[in-house]
Amino acid sequence: MLSFLSSSLSNTRQTLAQVLNFALVLSTAFMLWKGLSVVTSSSSPIVVVLSGSMEPAFQRGDLLFLWNRSPRAEIGEIVVYNVKGKDIPIVHRVVRSFPEIEGKEKTVKAAPESSPNMLLTKGDNNAASDEELYARGQDFLHRKEDIVGSVRGYMPMVGYELAELIESPPEGITVELANESNLYEWKVLMDGPDGSPYHKGKFHLKLTLPTEYPFKPPTVSFVTKIYHPNVTNDDKGSMCLGMLKADEWKPSSRLAAVLQFARSLLEEPMPDDAVEGRIAEQYRDDRKRYEEIAREWTRKYAVGS
């Protein structure tokens, strides 16, 4: 009885320690993001370009760094703005500014200092300016109310594959950032394929990119528990994918192909490349029992998650 209580208390302490560590990581990331927001005076100091309307200046997937402490935005400046009622950041160039400014000292023409800075924007790759993108009845952007920030720096192509996967994900897969301040950790939701024992399950995976990506492979792990010969049967949920091995990875490989291959393993496991030998042996020798357990785990851990 005492040993049972001791074991229960130990497990409780471990669980609490894990929860506190997770909360510490989240709070640290949140504070860093909020700190950056305060310094830049922008609600979203880092954004990813999701469209081609600013090509060739910026490509889809470029990572932009914003600054929002300037009182005015000048003609030719590239800004990020949100449309009222829609949470979609748009990256376009200022083509007109009101009230206009003149002279070397850039004084405002016949307007008091309190006059709001109004802007008209346009995508470099678009034929017309942005009036149709603004909110109903809005002809100009308000510098203080609508602008998220002005572009002050960028990293080319860092988020290209993320933008591509969010816009056109493979069948049965959705992708988003696990934390919008960290471009290198993705949350993946994967539907169990039809005809497999994982059907009707929704599995949460974590895809982590090393800072040396694409020259080093990403790692893929299951957050949702799954009974599978190619996924470790522990809290890590590490997935064994041949194409992600250091000696087989190619920098030209696409993350969409990685996720499609991961989902294909739910239909056809690879017992010869297993990380769980017992499950692989069961898959080869007693397929019926293997599928029964896989379905049971799917109902228990992956349905409604």
Catalytic residues: 53, 92, 130
User: Angle of helix 160-167 relative to helix 255-267, nearest 10 degrees?
Assistant: 50
* Dihedral angle of Cα 121, 123, 126, 132, to the nearest 10 degrees: -40
Amino acid letter, 230? N
CA dist 43 and 221 (Å) reads 31
What are the E-state strand segments in 169-236?
173-179, 182-191, 202-208, 219-222
Q: Which two tokens stand for residue 61?
A: 């997937």
Residue from 207, 208, 133 nearest 174 by CA: 207
- Give the three-class secondary structure for 113: coil
